[in-house]
Amino acid sequence: MSFPKIGSAAHDFTLLDQNGSSISLSSLRGKTVVLYFYPRANTPGCTIQAEGIRDHLQSFEKLNTVVLGVSPDTVKKISNFTEKKSLNFTLLADENHEVAELYGVWQLKKFMGRESMGVVRTTFLIDAAGTVSGIIEVNGRKTGSKTKTHHEDVLAWLEENQ
């Protein structure tokens, strides 16, 4: 499956957060949503990306924006990640990678000569009406966004497009 098109309705879903509570994308209508997919909790790149968001969450909140991080981890693993890194935003467990597949980010990846299926680090910007208004591929060729500057790139996009 490919990424949703900019201008299309964001696919709704319900997943469990780090506290075991159900969160639906549709319940966040009225706010801008940064929906970012990351490969795995407690890994170097994912930690850098999450800490950047954590350290700048107030800037997102000033823009009436909610941040949701989605990975194929268990609730227990994202709960541990949240506690260990003092994360102050919502992480969602997509254990069966159904939402990752729905958004087209569950893809064949190559790493150190090995191929496997996994999450391609991608961020979807969803407006208050629930429409996909932007896509940032992290470490991708299209934007050149990196895990270290992900929060800056997303905030810059939000400031330019809201």
In this structure, are residues 29 and 129 in contact, taking their beta carbons and an 8 Å threshold?
yes
Q: Which among 28, 33, 34, 46 is annotated as catalytic? A: 46
Tell me the residue length of the chain: 162
What is the DSSP-derived secondary structure letter of residue 106?
E
Whether residue 88 lies in the annotated active site: no
Alpha helices for the chain (secondary structure H): 44-55, 57-62, 75-84, 98-102, 150-161
Task: For residue 60, give both structure tokens.
Answer: 């997102």
Catalytic residues: 46
